[in-house]
Amino acid sequence: MPFTIDDFLDVFRRYNEAVWPAQWILVILAVVAVLAASRARRLTSAPAVILAVLWLWVGIAYHLAFFRVINPAAVAFGALFIVQAGVFAWLALRKPAIRFTARRDAAGMLGGLMVVFALLIYPTLGWLAGHRYPAAPTFGLPCPTTVFTFGLLLWAKPALPRRVLVIPVLWSAVATVAAFQLGMVEDLSLPFAAIVASAVLLRSERRVARLRPV
């Protein structure tokens, strides 16, 4: 690891002080995505558009603008997040588009739990671990945004192509290693979110493939 925990938390401090009040705007966007999926009479692609905005923000405003100062690998991370933003934009624009709706089945409830975790429980765990604002990860930074993403993806219909999961799962693996080395306990939620969401989504994809006419 080319930096210490103090260096890492200082990046959060500088980012949070520089972009204020963008953190709240990003939270509002997340709530809009959830409400769009929860209240829409029909399936909506609005969550995919908002995910594209969130991942583009993380790639540029965090990785390339701030994290790169202490970790040269942030250039590659930023590029991957920008690519993933393009994937979500493609999901919203493709025909037929991937749509989102909050559901009451097992996948829908798991997705809702991940959304609540990313927006409420994640910062609470960080506070309990001694990570105080502004030297703390806020929503719109990579890890809580990734957990939130997995939650929304569990509300997607029809089944998602596997390539949609590649970069979020890859980031989860990278962040998990860093979480253990740096003691970022709130980020240890990432492997669980990645494994659960991937298992559910891949199972749904296989079920759709079996029902598809030969």
Pairing of strands 99-100, 156-157: antiparallel
- HEC profile of 75-92: HHHHHHHHHHHHHHHHHH
Going by C-alpha positions, the residue among 166, 178, 110 that lies closest to residue 141 is: 178
DSSP per residue, 148-193 = HHHHHHTTEESPPPTHHHHHHHHHHHHHHHHHHHHT-GGGGHHHHH
Instruction: Render pLDDT for 90-149 as a digit per residue (tens, 0 to 9).
Output: 998 887 777 888 888 899 999 999 999 999 999 999 999 999 999 999 999 999 999 999
- Contact by Cβ (8 Å): 9, 135: yes
Reading the block at residue 43, the tokens are: 């399936």
Domain coordinates in residue numbering, the chain: 5-211
| Model confidence, pTM | 0.93
**Extended beta strands in the chain, E state:** 99-100, 156-157
Q: Average pLDDT in the 175-179 region? A: 94
Q: Average pLDDT in the 36-41 region? A: 78
pLDDT tier at 41 (50, 70, 90 boundaries)? low
Instruction: Render pLDDT for 137-154 as a digit per residue (tens, 0 to 9).
Output: 999 999 999 999 999 999
